[in-house]
Amino acid sequence: MADTKQVTVTAVSDEVGGVAADLARASLALARRFSAGGTMWCASPNWPFHAHHVAVEFVHPVIMGKRALPAVTVPPAADMVASLRASVVPGDIVLVLADADDPAVVETMRRGAAWGVETVWIGAGGRRPEPGSANHVIWLDTENALQASELFVRIYHLLWELTHVCFEHPGLLKPEPECTDEVCITCSDEGRPAEVVSVDGDEALVRTPDGHEHIDVSLIDPPAPGDLVLVHAGFAITAPTQPGRPV
Amino acid sequence: MPETTDFLYPFIEGDETDSGTLLEDLARSAEGKWLQSSALREATLTQSAAQVHATATAMAERFQAGGRLFTFGNGGSATDAEAVAHLYTQPPWGRALPARSLAEDQAVMTALGNDVGFDLVFSRQLIAHGRAHDIAMGFSTSGNSENLMRAFAEARKQGMLTVGLSGYDGGRMAAEGTPVAECLVARSDSVHRIQESQAALNHALWAAVQEALASSS
């Protein structure tokens, strides 16, 4: 018995260091998105119960008087990319609990910028998601599956608690000011992410956070629906990306 | 939530523009709650050690006799029921054991809720599935959910082993005359911290069941 107990009764409190700051930033981002009318889409291919738990926390708060917030579970049997592509609108949140190498999750997160959604990736283990693969990565170092599962519950409980603290600060929930600097790379159409909806010869219909638009794809290899491209001045300027290939 | 940060920002309302202070405050709050959760976890596991051992031994006997584990709960506790069924059937190590969450089938849940009422959604399923060697395990933070009490009563009637995970002071699940044979309690008045310690209890209990099965085979 003593040995068995030690398997699970291991110290867990040291993990909080970096996680606390990541949780703070993610909570403020969630509060901003919710305040602007966003919906949170929760998915966990391997642990659907965690996704269900996150959604029910936000929809039906355990503390009376707290706002019910729109959160939805992506059905575990669904094609995650197809399901979310059909459902999300710019301003939404996609929160995923998954390993770093889950292919459906990698594909989903890569599309976050083109869909205009805030992405949150919660997971554990020595292998972390590639840098920049989500807006918020909240990661635990533990390789112990049971310990990770326990701490995931803590993490999404805290995410809910901190998000509601942010609602007490309405001044900080306003949209980020528009960039008006003429040489600002972010705003200068330098290369906006887009997802191809359909292709007709040298022209393609693509989806961006600003809506659908027609672009010229004659400068790149012919893309297929679902491919990600970068758009500059009405032209696709990068070849379609494949899973595992750098964007 | 007991913590409100209003007192730190006496003159802000809608005019606050610098998020740096709030982010620092949120991170500090997260650290504090994290440590509270760890402390409750250790206290709960320490206080429950003997009961976890006894419960696991009884559960292992049921599994060896061909018994199955049925789990149930409402809301977040329904997801705990799902997590436990997942852990027993698809364990990270050890022996896979038959387990199922009664809250998972939405056709059954909505049929029963609509036709006979929500108080009976779990007990009715135990009437259909239960056998004397089985185990009924219910999760609640208050320990007072009527549909859990009905399910435990039905399980007890059938001779099943009844196991409950509760919070606060245990509630009805731990009160005198309860149909719950073994009620493990995470003693806190925060629903979130209770659920976090219940997750630890679930894992300790599962590991002890595996240990009991390994040492008896």
Which residues contact residue B152 at a Cβ distance below 8 angstroms, ignoring those fewer than 6 apart?
B136, B138, B162, B164, B173, B178, B179, B180
Q: Kindly report the nearest CA distance between residue B16 and chain A, in angstroms.
A: 5
Partner residue facing A171 (CB), from B16, B27, B28: B16
Q: What is the ipTM of this complex?
A: 0.92
Which residues on B lie below 8 Å from A21 (Cβ)?
A: 23, 27
The pLDDT of residue A77: 79
Partner residue facing A4 (CB), from B17, B41, B211: B211
Mean of pLDDT values over A58-70:
93
d(CA B27, CA B47): 30
| Cβ atoms A1, B16 nearer than 8 A | no
Which residue type sits at A242? Answer: Q
Which residues on A lie below 8 Å from B19 (Cβ)?
A: 28, 172
The pLDDT of residue A64: 87
Q: Does residue A179 lie in a domain region?
A: no
Q: What percent of chain A clears pLDDT 90, i.e. is strictly above it?
A: 77
Q: Kindly report the nearest CA distance between residue A223 and chain B, in angstroms.
A: 41
SS3 assignment, position A174: coil
Q: Measure the CA angle with vertex A38, ends A36 and A39; round to 5°.
A: 155
d(CA B47, CA B184): 10
CATH number of the domain bearing residue A26: 3.40.50.10490
Residue B69: other Cβ atoms inside 10 A: 24
Q: Does residue B10 lie in a domain region?
A: no
Contact B203 A8 (CB under 8 A): yes
Q: Kindly report the nearest CA distance between residue A117 and chain B, in angstroms.
A: 21
Which residues on B lie below 8 Å from A62 (Cβ)?
A: 76, 141, 191-192
Q: Does residue A102 lie in a domain region?
A: yes
Q: Are residues A110 and A37 in the same domain?
A: yes
d(CA B160, CA B132): 5
Q: How many domains does chain B have?
A: 1
Q: Does residue B107 lie in a domain region?
A: yes
| Cβ atoms B94, B211 nearer than 8 A | no
Q: Does residue B48 lie in a domain region?
A: yes
Cβ contacts below 8 Å, chain A against chain B, sum to 151
Q: pLDDT of A90-104, one tens digit each?
A: 999 999 999 999 999
| Cβ atoms A30, A22 nearer than 8 A | no
| Cβ atoms A40, A68 nearer than 8 A | no
Secondary structure E strands in chain A: 40-43, 71-73, 93-97, 118-124, 136-140, 192-200, 203-208, 211-216, 228-232, 235-236
Q: How many domains does chain A have?
A: 2
The pLDDT of residue B17: 80
**Residues lower than pLDDT 70 in chain B:** 1-14
Mean of pLDDT values over A208-233:
94
d(CA A238, CA A222): 11
Which residues on B lie below 8 Å from A66 (Cβ)?
A: 1
Half-sphere exposure of residue A179: CA atoms within 13 angstroms, side-chain side: 9
CATH number of the domain bearing residue B168: 3.40.50.10490
From the list A53, A3, A16, A1, the residue with the least C-alpha distance to A141 is A16
Number of residues in chain B: 217
Number of residues in chain A: 247
Contact B35 A13 (CB under 8 A): yes
Q: pLDDT of B115-136, one tens digit each?
A: 999 999 999 999 999 999 999 9
Q: Are residues A228 and A135 in the same domain?
A: no
d(CA A179, CA A193): 18
What average pLDDT is seen over chain A? 88
Q: Does residue A3 lie in a domain region?
A: no
Give the domain range for residue B178: 19-216
B28 contact A CB<8A: yes
Q: Does residue A108 lie in a domain region?
A: yes
Give the domain range for residue A219: 192-236
Q: Are residues A128 and A205 in the same domain?
A: no
Spell out a b/e string for A23-48, using b for 16 or more CB atoms within 10 Å of the CB, else e.
bbbbbbbbbbbbbeebbbbbbbbebb
Q: Are residues A204 and A160 in the same domain?
A: no
Residue A181 has pLDDT above 60, yes or no: no
B104 contact A CB<8A: no
Mean of pLDDT values over A211-224:
95
Q: Are residues A163 and A215 in the same domain?
A: no
Higher pLDDT: A10 or A217? It is: A217
d(CA A128, CA A139): 7
Q: Which of these three, A172, A202, A227, is where a domain ends?
A: A172
